[in-house]
């Protein structure tokens, strides 16, 4: 869209386009993670986050309309990379620890999205255009709520996984025999 940025508005419009791409990438990733997750509460969590992503896409489209410019997507290599990484986890992670790996990916994504909206809210507030900062603030609030939900689920899944691993490792662990202390020269 822009070869070179000359104004704060150009940067703001470009970042809005990046946020739109990020939300579409996020939606694709969440749908795949929901299908792959094994626990029903983890699936529900990703489904809820996907629903929020759809609302956030609508908010972004409304912002473009308030600005009087056509909604457009700008490149978002970071979210593309995160989606690629999530697919790689789905392909190479054993079922026993898959939910934890997916939640870690979801948490990273939500933190990135939060950072993008934090920056956009600052720019929108500085610009002072009515309605735009509020819509971006809604998206930011949803991302922050998602972070808290994922963290709570991840803590419970990680604790469960660690306990299962400890249980399954215990019977196979070789018994460690400590030889009696023999003073030097006694053999
Ligand atoms: Fe989002």
Comparing C-alpha atoms, which of 137, 122, 17 is closest to residue 79?
A: 17
In the structure, what pLDDT confidence band is assigned to residue 168 with cuts at 50, 70 and 90? confident
pLDDT of 4 strictly over 80:
yes
Mean pLDDT across the chain, nearest whole number? 92
Ligand 1 centroid–CA 172 distance in Å is: 44
DSSP code, position 157: H
pLDDT of 26 strictly over 70:
yes
Predicted local confidence at residue 164, as pLDDT: 87
Question: In which residue are the tokens 């500085």 written?
Answer: 126
Ligand 1 centroid–CA 148 distance in Å is: 14
Ligand 1 centroid–CA 39 distance in Å is: 22
Predicted local confidence at residue 73, as pLDDT: 96
CB 81 within 8 A of CB 61: no
CB 30 within 8 A of CB 49: yes
Please give the domain boundaries of the chain with CATH numbers for all domains: 8-164 (1.20.1260.10)
pLDDT of 167 strictly over 80:
yes
């Amino acid at each position: 869209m822009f070869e070179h940025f000359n104004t704060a508005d150009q940067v703001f419009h470009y970042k809005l386009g990046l946020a739109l791409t990020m939300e579409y990438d996020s939606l694709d990733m969440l749908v795949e993670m929901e299908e792959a997750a094994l626990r029903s509460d983890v699936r529900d969590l990703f489904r809820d986050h996907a629903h929020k992503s759809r609302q956030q896409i609508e908010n972004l489209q409304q912002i473009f309309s308030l600005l009087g410019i056509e909604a457009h997507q700008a490149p978002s290599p970071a979210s593309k990379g995160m989606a690629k990484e999530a697919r790689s986890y789905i392909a190479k992670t054993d079922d026993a620890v898959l939910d934890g790996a997916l939640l870690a990916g979801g948490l990273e994504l939500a933190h990135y999205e939060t950072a993008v909206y934090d920056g956009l809210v600052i720019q929108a507030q500085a610009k002072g255009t009515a309605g735009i900062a509020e819509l971006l603030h809604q998206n930011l609030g949803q991302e922050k709520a998602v972070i808290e939900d994922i963290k709570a689920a991840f803590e419970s899944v990680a604790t469960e996984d660690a306990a299962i691993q400890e249980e399954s490792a215990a019977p196979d662990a070789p018994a460690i025999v400590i030889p009696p202390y023999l003073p030097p020269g006694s053999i």
